[in-house]
Amino acid sequence: MLDYHLHLWPHGQRDTAPTLEQVADYCESARAAGVHEVALTEHLFRFSQADRLLRGFWDDEPDAALRSSMADYWDDHARADLDVYVECVLAAKDAGLPVVLGLEVDYYRGRMDDVVTLLAGYPFDVLLGSVHWIGAWRFDDVDDPLSMAQWSTRDVDAAWSDYVSAIEELAATGACDVLAHPDLVKAAGHRPVAPEECWDRLVEAALGSGMAAELSSAGWRKPAEEAYPAPALLERFVANGVPLTTASDAHRLSDVAHRSADLGRMLDALDVTSLRAFRARRPVDVPLATTVAGP
């Protein structure tokens, strides 16, 4: 098994310089749960380099309260140094730890060429593509009352369609390798009556871009109370030959490899025998029960 979605800092916690010991603890916790390789994939927006590049992407949001909330959220996160992060993960790799260097990259409409240029200067193994906001609405921020109140005034079907449109646009940029938590829009527990059209569009986005899709246990820790993606969407990915990674989306040590055995059982039930790992942004298919070694 893999855990290809790990963060060093919880949301709301001020970042501290990452250490080799912290990465080693993550690797050991994963190993104890039967996970043989991990990817460190901190959010791009946690780094000052992203702040200089992307600040103010929310300025077109018509809702002043959402604009202000996003600005505050951004200021609370964009504090770490990308160079220090990369150096720490590379040191962990050099020390022989089973870790690859990754990043979680949100979609910034009209700015992805700048993002690609920035990230091209670093030796990333894997880049996760994700959508966490529509405009300046953080639809999955279940701890933010302002964000959650939006669900009572918005049409659920329209929100899902807007989310999938952003995923389609992100996939079309070719900037990332994996669709992270593909149906994240359900995080707060809101689902359309008939999600099949959105599911089919997500499958097409993966197929058209050549991206893998992530099977993540994080949804079990949210009001959705379900893995990402939903079982029926996972079946669609598998039936159409979309490669898969597995992940916990942990933001703390205690969640590393969360419910990895349950993810394995979901894959076994669909006769999935391999996962997609990455080296220097190149895909490597590996047996489900193990992973690859070497650079």
Ordered per-residue pLDDT tens for the chain, 295 residues: 999 999 998 887 766 789 999 999 999 999 999 999 999 999 999 999 999 999 999 999 999 999 999 999 999 888 899 999 999 999 999 999 999 999 999 999 999 999 999 999 999 999 999 999 999 999 999 999 999 999 999 999 999 999 999 999 999 999 999 999 999 999 999 999 999 999 999 999 999 999 999 999 999 999 999 999 999 999 999 999 999 999 999 999 999 999 999 999 999 999 999 999 999 999 999 998 754 444 4
Q: Judge contact between 186 and 155, C-beta under 8 A.
A: no
Does residue 228 contact residue 191 with C-beta atoms inside 8 Å?
no
Q: Which residues of 175-199 are buried (b: 16+ CB within 10 A; e: fewer)?
A: bbbbbbbbbbbbbbebbbeebeebb
CA pair distance 262, 258, nearest whole angstrom: 9
- 79: Cβ–Cβ under 8 A, 6 or more apart, which residues? 14, 15, 46, 48
Domain segments of the chain: what residues?
Answer: 2-287
pTM assigned to the model: 0.95
3-state secondary structure 146-192: HHHHHHHCCCHHHHHHHHHHHHHHHHHHCCCCEECCCCHHHCCCCCC
CATH of domain 2-287: 3.20.20.140
Contact 22, 8 (CB under 8 A): yes
Pairing of strands 282-287, 274-279: antiparallel
Residues, the chain, total? 295
pLDDT for the residue 290: 52
Dihedrals phi, psi of 195, to nearest 5 degrees: -85, 0
| Tokens representing residue 109 in the block | 């409409």
What stretch of H or E contains 42? strand 37-43
Angle at 82 between CA 141 and CA 17, to 5 degrees: 85
